[in-house]
Amino acid sequence: MRTISFSLVIIALLFTFSCEQKDTTPDPRLDQPEDFKKLLDAHGDWSKWVNAKGFSYAMVHETNLAWENHYISLPDRKVRIDADAWQIGNDGEKVWISPNRQAFQGNSVRFYHNLYFYFFSIPYIFTDPGVSVKKTENKLVNGISYEAFEVSFEENVGSSPNDIYFMLVDPETGKLAWVLYSVTFFDKNNTKLNALKYEDYRDAGGLIFPRIMTGYQFENDSTKRLSYQVTFSDVFLVEKAMDAALFAMPEKNAVAAN
């Protein structure tokens, strides 16, 4: 029932139609290094990501079966997440939570509000302005050598420009197999890498996204204890803008949060 309801909300309520003429100027995000383009091409027609205005999906935490519905306005990265016990949003000026901060058990609402969106959107999201992708030396994971790309960010790009990302390419499919990453949101000097595995790709309107992402602790080029696993469904990517009201903080039973 939840899947049906979510799909109907997407189709009927979220996307507003525009009569404005499209800009035919080539988007600079399409100008990427040739090696990186090869990885992007393995994931479908990635120009669809560059041209999209709205993005949404359903997500389940497999460790506790908690569900979430995510809605993202891609041009300005406004976000809303609906869960069973809370809603989180970013209206472009502040991050908010409803009904109160106590409803969310995580350390930081701001850290969480776009966390899974970012991971789920790799490699497409690394076409963003201010992001640089370059080929680097191969990386080992569990004894297998993977072609690797290093990702870096210009100063003041995003909330954690010191984060480290390596994209590892499946040698058989050419698709993204692993992401090795560090988290500097809570400690800007942290360099410890975690590993995130991408599996079971599914088509969503010409682009492919993983159905399963599994996070692991990572040490000595090997995965250790499982940290989390999430699964995705009902992925929608459209060229029409989302209704701004979707991301507005409710007038009652909501607070701004860090």
Above 50 in pLDDT, residue 78? yes
Model pTM greater than 0.85? yes
Give CA 220 to chain center in angstroms. 27
Range in 25-39, 52-66, 97-111, 126-140 with the lowest mean pLDDT: 25-39
Of all residues in the chain, the percent with pLDDT exceeding 90 is 79
Name the residue with higher pLDDT: 21 or 250.
250
The Cα–Cα gap between 27 and 225 comes to 41
Distances 31 to 67, 127, 150 between C-alpha atoms, Å: 37, 9, 17
Residue with tokens 């809370």: 86
| pLDDT, tens only, 23-64 | 567 788 899 999 999 999 999 999 999 999 999 999 999 999
CB atoms within 10 A of CB 210: 22
